[in-house]
Amino acid sequence: MSLAILHGGTYYHAEAILGARYRDRFERVIYAPDLKPGDLDGVGVLIVPDRLNPSLLRRHRPLLLGHLARGGTLVVFAETQAHAWVPGVDWTFRPTNFWWWRQQGATPAQRVVRPDHELFRFVDPAATIWHFHGVLRPPPGAEALMVVPPEPGGRDDGGCLLYDDRVSTKGRLIVSTLDPFYHHGSHFMPATTRFLDGFLPWAQAVARGEAVSPARAAASG
C-alpha cells in the first residue's frame, strides 16, 4: 500500500510536498481539485495537509470517506474544517497565540500524553510544540495523543490537538489542529520541519504495515 497526499496548488503545498526534502516520501501526489474515483485505489495512507480548501474537501467527501470505509488511514491536519466533512470530528475554536514563546517565563500549553504511541518512535515530542488552531474532542475509544488544558476565561474545557481514532470507522482516522505543511512550506517555524522529518517516515511505515507501537508489539507476541 502506498502513501498519498492531496496537493492544493499553493506555494506552501508546492514547497512542502514537491520540494527536494520530502518529495520522495510520497508514492502519489494528487492535485485536490482533480481528485476522482479510482485515484485512491491502492492507497494505504492519505494525508490531507493543513490549509487545503475546505470546499474541495466537502465536494470530495464521498471519496475521502470511502477510503476510510475500505480500511484505509486518513490523516487530516489543521484549518481544513474537518468537523464539516468528517463524521464524528468535534472541533472548538480557540484564538491562536502565535507569540506565546516571546512572553517571559512562557511554557507551552500543549503536552504529549501518549509518549508510548508508535508515532513518537519517529517524532520527538519537542517537535510538536509551536501553536495550534482550535481544540478537538475525540470520539469515545479514540486515543488522545496531545492535549491542552482549559482556556482561561472558560471558552472551552480543554481538549486535544492530535488523536488517533481506530474505532469510529472501518479504517483509521488521525486528526490534528497542527499546521506543519504551511509553516515548513513558508520557511517559518523550524519545529514544523522537525515534525515532518519524523511524521512522514512514520506515515510511510503505517502505509506499509510496519509501524507498531511497543505495547501492541508485546501484546501480539
Biggest distance spanned by C-alpha atoms of the chain = 53
What domains are defined for the chain? 2-220 (3.40.50.880)
Measured CA to CA, the distance from residue 192 to residue 197 in angstroms comes to 9
pLDDT in tens, 19-64: 999 999 999 999 999 999 999 999 999 999 999 999 999 999 999 9
The pLDDT of residue 153 is: 73
Per-residue burial over 106-130, b = 16 or more CB atoms within 10 Å of its CB, e = otherwise: eeebbebebeebbbbbbbeeebbbb
pLDDT over 80 at 215, yes or no: no
Q: Are 28 and 4 in contact (CB under 8 A)?
A: yes
Which grid coordinates belong to 29?
501526489
pLDDT higher than threshold 50 for residue 164? yes
pLDDT band with cut points at 50, 70 and 90 for residue 101: low
